[in-house]
Amino acid sequence: MGPRQGFGLHIDFANSVLARSVDLSPSRIDDGKVSFLVPQRTARGAIELTQLGKGVGYGSWICDNARDETNLGITMPPEHFAFPFHVLAQPIIVGIEGMPQPITLARTDSYVLGPSVVGTQTIRPGVPIHQMCLFVNGTTIDSCFADRQQALPAALKRALTHPADEPFFVHGSVTSSMSLALHQVLSCSICGGLARLYLEAKALEIVALRLDQLGDTQPARRSLKLMRSDLDGLEEARHVLLTRYESPPTITELAQAVGLNRTKLKTGFKFRFGTTVFGFIRTQRMQRALLLLRDGECNVSEAAAAVGYNSLSAFTAAFKAEFGFSPQLIRGCSDIDGLE
């Protein structure tokens, strides 16, 4: 496929008094990193692009204390797939040019975006943003499947060969393994060449875990027929669960609230979001509990109660099933790299 080794980001800022475009691109792979401060008239924050090896890199943008509502357009690198993640508890709304509806990006969401997709994001006062996006070129992704003696999925191949077609994006969920690897990237304390090696390995780990999800919904895709109204209902159900995971509705109550029958809700939710309704609820609860314990805000009993568990033993079992270690090990620990 022959993509370029390097990559860059094109970013447009626009509000009532500001119109500015910025190109971020490390000139050589040895340079590794380039940063840009968000215009002061917009917000407090920075955008950083880090280029690793083997066609892999990542971008990170942090914005808060916004003064005015500002539209941010980010053009993904050509011939690279993008894997965006939002790491704060409060979800944000993002758009994709060419798609009729914006999408919600929560901490437990994982999207795959095709080459040259243009993402649109609105920076609003009172809504902080901390987003990380991995970039991997098509050759590297192709080799991941080739190593497993599998052909590159047709949808990924079309996204590379026909990037001007309808924007390619696939929704999935952030697993506990992905969440830990993302935290390890963001909290890496290694310096120099070893840091590049470590970050490259972690980025590839996240990409491999995400690509492994792509085959999960293919049987359902062939048998399940969803209308636009069904998709809207599923998005509404997900929004309800994002805001009520401590005390969620029953399946019947949720189905009635969003206008779907129980079967379509359960099957469609798994197809659309890559997890069951109950799996989604558990992940939301455990991710929140992890933050409470890691930041030392709660002891284990308090964290369990905060995310809706009356039984400490049930909470401990769910936490260990989600992350692979006991919640007692995480409280007050700012670096969880050694707990895998």
Which CATH number covers residue 67?
2.60.120.10
Instruction: Report pLDDT for 331.
Output: 57
Model pTM?
0.69
Mean pLDDT of the 36-55 span: 83
Q: Would you call 280 exposed, middle or buried from its count of C-beta atoms within 10 A (0-12, 13-18, 19+)?
A: buried
Domain-located, residue 338 = no
Mean pLDDT of the 191-216 span: 83
Mean pLDDT of the 210-237 span: 72
Domain-located, residue 248 = yes
Q: Are residues 285 and 196 in the same domain?
A: no
> For residue 6, what pLDDT band results from cuts at 50, 70 and 90?
low
Domain-located, residue 284 = yes
Mean pLDDT of the 283-300 span: 84
Domain that holds residue 152: 9-211
Q: Are residues 116 and 154 in the same domain?
A: yes
pLDDT in tens, 47-67: 888 888 778 888 888 888 887
Domain-located, residue 312 = yes
- In 291-306, which positions are buried (b, 16+ CB within 10 angstroms) versus exposed (e)? bbbbeeebebeebbee
User: Of 177, 196, 211, which residue sits at a domain end?
Assistant: 211
Domain-located, residue 157 = yes
Domain-located, residue 340 = no
Which CATH number covers residue 309?
1.10.10.60
Q: Are residues 181 and 35 in the same domain?
A: yes
Q: Would you call 105 exposed, middle or buried from its count of C-beta atoms within 10 A (0-12, 13-18, 19+)?
A: buried
Instruction: Report pLDDT for 216.
Output: 47
Q: Are residues 109 and 246 in the same domain?
A: no
- For residues 110 and 93, give the distance between their C-alpha atoms in angstroms, rounded to a whole number: 14
Instruction: Report pLDDT for 217.
Output: 46
Q: Are residues 224 and 309 in the same domain?
A: yes
- For residues 96 and 103, give the distance between their C-alpha atoms in angstroms, rounded to a whole number: 8
Instruction: Report pLDDT for 27.
Output: 55
